[in-house]
Amino acid sequence: MALQHEDGYWCALLTADTTLESDYILLQLWLQPPVAGAWNPPNRPQIQRAVDRILSRQLADGGFNIYVGGPSEISASVKAYFALKVAGLRFEDERLARLRERILAMGGVQGANSYTKVNLSLFGLYPREGTPSIPPEILLLPGGLLYQMSSWTRAIVVSLAIVHAHDPQRPVPQGFSLEELFVPGKSITFESDDSWLSWRKTFIQSDRIFKLWEKYGHARIREVAIRKCEHWMLERMKHSQGLGAIYPPMQYSIMAMDVLGYAPDNPLRLEAIRHFDDLMVDDGKELFFQPCFSPVWDTAIGGFALGEAGYGSSPALQKATDWLLEREIRRKGDWSVKRPNTEPSGWAFEFQNDWYPDIDDTAMVMLAFKHMKAGNSAAQEATRKRALDWLLAMQSSDGGWAAFDVDNNWHILTHVPFADHNAMLDPTCADITGRTLEALAANGFDRSHPACKRAIDYLLKTQLADGSWYGRWGVAFLYGTCFALRGLQAMGEDDHEPHIQRANEWIRASQNSDGGWGESCASYDNNTFTGTKSTPSQTAWALMGLLAGGDTYSSSVQHAVDYLISGQKPDGSWDEDLATGTGFPRVFYLNYHYYRIYFPLIALSAFVQAQAANR
């Protein structure tokens, strides 16, 4: 409760890897190019602090990882090398030399992902022919192809297509290059598979056609496509704190406005830069960037946690509820392309992002409303009904729920050359589906409702052979299993059913000797549970899952409670340094800094409730 903002919301720090600081330095080079071959930006002290932040995360082998405890990763390492070198580290610097050796050992710059290569190509540092085409003409194609991509990919692709179409070759400091990162003799082009006919090969051939079009295509058609992309981008910057309200498209939107000729003092451009700079955190010790803000998510989970702990009548929760009511989205966004007749409602993750309300946040708000009461009960009830109708309308045809869209499952798009950010689609998943079921149950729905029945069937079909569920938005199988079990419990699933018992046994078998649970982000790479040291948030998920599965007495449950109680600090919080949030599996992970607090609170409250019910 002490962490609540005076306006009523909670908003934790949301931190990630060094790629954000590296991309920040790249953007500064774009906006403040060298003069007479020398790069002396006026915000040099700020850039130096970003350099210090990057260097503080360098590994012993010289590289950079994408999650604490993880191995060096090629794209993060290449981005860091570019940023450090362009910011002034000398070629002979031991830190840069170790990084260079590690990059070459991992396959050189040729092994980086497509977005890293595209960024470098904008400065002539990677051959354009080795980067994927991102044609603005995608908005001219029939069939709404753009809306078959995930919402975040959409925002990146449209803004980056504008930049790419202008084929900029921005200057770098005199004598600067990355030639030392190229592995001699290794191809710079896309790798295909060996089959004579495959979607991957088809898209690579298509990319060659797009490159010919860029050279010889009709200039008028390209100009129309660019203008349509510009309109699309500017529309989605309205009623939002930056394009998509997340780091990558916000960065690319600034670059897009630059190539489109928006003057440095243009109000739209200045606003875009201001929103981007707002993501910067300077705590006096170090400077770093957040990928976005998470106030709705934090407020809904924090409010639910306090309600579960018996603080539902607290004035703090009424204040939080009033804040949430003011942020219900009443405009149609991209989701309405597939649901044009649905009344808009829902909540976004961030302070303002009206084009992209998401199902997970909306379900969490609906679940929190079980405890949270607004000052205006009539307004809350009207909002609740709209939001529930919106949630039901956003169910996908397979019975599950995704994050932002319905039936966003064109798997052929994962073979597009620029799809290696592993987030081309927004698939349904067990964690969101389970949470939505729990939210529906808290609002009077039961398993007799057709939508609930389909969602229960979805969860039963997606349970893995070992008893776990895959978690898309949290690391990883512990997260998916926890919220699948909670959703099933809320729908009255008998905990004696074999699938519930298999899940319980899987959780118990994954417990660490200290009584807690820990799961590495490497689970996504290995496609199976990969244990690591115990964390408070993951221990809480495991405990919540066991309790939802009917296990209230086992030694595993007792040891989990002991682990959480013994690890609590005097101020009421817990320490946690590992990433337990998932942005894009295998690519980008998140540290939600309040996960370590409110999930243990929910778990311990659930334990107390279970013990009281069994007396």
- Point out the residues that are catalytic: 360
CA 446 to CA 508: how far, in whole Å? 29
- What are the residues whose beta carbons fall under 8 Å from the beta carbon of 427, sequence distance 6 or more? 402, 408, 409, 472
| HSE-up (13 A, CA, CB side) for residue 67 | 26
CA 334 to CA 165: how far, in whole Å? 24
Contact, 580 vs 593, CB < 8 A? no
Helix (H, G, I), strand (E, B) or coil at 426: strand
List C-alpha distances in Å: 112 to 77, 96, 296.
9, 18, 34
DSSP symbols for 501-525: HHHHHHHHHT--TTS-EEE-THHHH
Taking only Cα atoms into account, the Rg of the chain, rounded to an integer number of angstroms, comes to: 24
List the helix and strand counts (H, then E) for the chain: 22, 7
CA 507 to CA 464: how far, in whole Å? 13
CA 322 to CA 377: how far, in whole Å? 10
Supply 57's token pair: 């995360």
Closest CA to 413 of 145, 152, 151: 145
Helix (H, G, I), strand (E, B) or coil at 403: coil
Supply 152's token pair: 């975040």
Supply 301's token pair: 């989970």
Instruction: Encode burial over 198-233: b for 16+ CB neighbours within 10 A, e otherwise.
Output: eebbebbeebeebbeebeeeeeeebeebbebbbebb
Helix (H, G, I), strand (E, B) or coil at 410: coil
- What are the residues whose beta carbons fall under 8 Å from the beta carbon of 49, sequence distance 6 or more? 282, 286, 287
CA 66 to CA 585: how far, in whole Å? 11
What single-letter amino acid sits at 39?
Answer: W
- The CA-CA-CA angle for residues 42, 44, 49, to 5°, reads 145
Supply 220's token pair: 């008028």
- What are the residues whose beta carbons fall under 8 Å from the beta carbon of 230, sequence distance 6 or more? 162, 256, 260
Closest CA to 151 of 325, 296, 429, 337: 337
List C-alpha distances in Å: 516 to 532, 538, 542, 571.
10, 8, 8, 21
CA 296 to CA 302: how far, in whole Å? 10
φ/ψ of 280, rounded to 5, equals -75, 135
CA 18 to CA 50: how far, in whole Å? 9
